[in-house]
Amino acid sequence: MFNFKTCAQPTCNTYICGEGPFCFRHSPNKEELHSSCVASLSGKEDVLDLSLTGGEFEDLVIPKKEFSSSNMAWCTFRNVDFSECTFITSFFDFCLFDRCRFNGITSRYSIFSGSKMLNCDFSGSSITHTNFVGIDTLHCNFSDCDLYYSNFGTSFLRDTDFIDCNLKKADFSNTNQRRVSFRYSNYEEAHH
C-alpha cells in the first residue's frame, strides 16, 4: 500500500506527497513536486503505491495504465483524461473532478467518496466494487457501465445519466436525485 506517514507540519493529518515529509499543500518546493507528480501520472509506467494528496492537475492525458494501491485523496483534476486506465484499490476520496473523462476504465475496489464531479464522463466502463458514497455530481454520464456492487449511497445526483447500466447489487440508498435517468438499466436490482 501507499505510504501511511502523515505530514510533518504540526496539526496536519494529511498523508505525505511522494517521498517527502510534507503533504502537497505544505511542501516548501511545490513546483518541483508538482512536476514530478505530473511526470509519474502522465508517464507510461504503471502507478503502484503512489501517495499524492492535495495536488492540482489540469489539461492532462493519462496514457492507458494501471493505478494500484495508490492514494490521490483531496486532489483537483481539471480536464484530465483517464480513459482506458485501470484502478485497483486506489483512493480518490474528497477530490474535485471537473471535465474529466473516464471512458472505458476498469475500476475495482477503488474509492471516489466525497468527491465533486462536474461534467465527467464514465461511459462504457467496468466499475465494480467501487465506492461513490457521498459524491456530488452535476452533468455526469455513467451510461453503458457495469456498476456491480458499487455504492452511491448518500450522494447528491443532478443531471446524471445511468442509461443501460448493470446495477445489480449497486446501492443508491439515501441519494438525492434530480433529473437522473436510469433508462434501460436494472434499477430494481439495486438497493434504493
Write out the DSSP string of 54-99: S-EEEEEE--S-EEES-B-TT-EEEEEE-TT-EEES-B-TT-EEES
Instruction: Return the number of the residue (116 or 169) whose C-beta is nearest another protein.
Output: 169
Helix (H) or strand (E) holding 178: strand 176-178
Instruction: Return the number of the residue (35 or 173) whose C-beta is nearest another protein.
Output: 173
Lookup: cell for 138: 452535476
Would you call 34 helix, strand, or coil by DSSP?
helix
Break the chain down into helix, strand, coil percent, rounded to 5: 10, 30, 60
Lookup: cell for 119: 461534467
Instruction: Return the number of the residue (55 or 114) whose C-beta is nearest another protein.
Output: 114
Residue 180 CB, shortest distance to another protein, in Å, is 18
Would you call 36 helix, strand, or coil by DSSP?
helix
Lookup: cell for 80: 484530465
Residue 87 CB, shortest distance to another protein, in Å, is 12
Which residues are near another protein by CB under 8 A?
1, 4, 6, 13, 15, 69, 89, 91, 93, 109-111, 113-114, 129-131, 133-134, 149-151, 153-154, 169, 171, 173-174
Residue 164 CB, shortest distance to another protein, in Å, is 22
Residue 154 CB, shortest distance to another protein, in Å, is 4
Residue 128 CB, shortest distance to another protein, in Å, is 8
Instruction: Return the number of the residue (23 or 81) whose C-beta is nearest another protein.
Output: 23
Instruction: Return the number of the residue (125 or 150) whose C-beta is nearest another protein.
Output: 150
What gap in Å lies between CA 21 and CA 7, rounded to an integer?
6
